[in-house]
Amino acid sequence: MVNRQRVQLTAAKENEGGPDPLIDLKRKLAEALAALENLSAEHERLKEEWGHKEARWRLSSLKRHAEQNKLEQVTECIFIDGL
C-alpha cells in the first residue's frame, strides 16, 4: 500500500506542469470506441449483404437444378419413346 502511494506521488510530481495522461487516455479510449462502433456497423452491413447474396445464390442454384431435372426427364422420355 505504501509503495503504491509512493509511485502515485512520484507519477504526480513527474506530471506536474505537463499534460494530464488521464485526459490523453480518455481521448484515445473515445477514439477507439468510435472506431469499434464504425466497424460494428460495417460488419452488420456486410453480414446483411452476404445474406442477400447467399439467398440469390441458393435461388439460382435451385433454378439450375430444376432446369437440369427437366432436361433429364425430357431426355428419358425421348429415349424411352424412341425405343
Is residue 83 scored above 60 in pLDDT? no
Which comes out higher in pLDDT, residue 12 or 24? 24
Is residue 81 scored above 90 in pLDDT? no
pLDDT score for 75: 86
In a domain, 75, yes or no: yes
In a domain, 38, yes or no: yes
pLDDT score for 76: 82
- Altogether, the residues listed in the chain come to a count of 83
In a domain, 17, yes or no: no
* Residue 12 pLDDT grade (very low, low, confident, very high; cuts 50, 70, 90): low
In a domain, 21, yes or no: no
Angstrom distance (rounded) from CA 59 to CA 57: 5
Q: How many domains does the chain have?
A: 1
In a domain, 54, yes or no: yes
Q: Which domain holds residue 41?
A: 26-83
> Do the beta carbons of residue 52 and residue 46 sit within 8 Å?
no
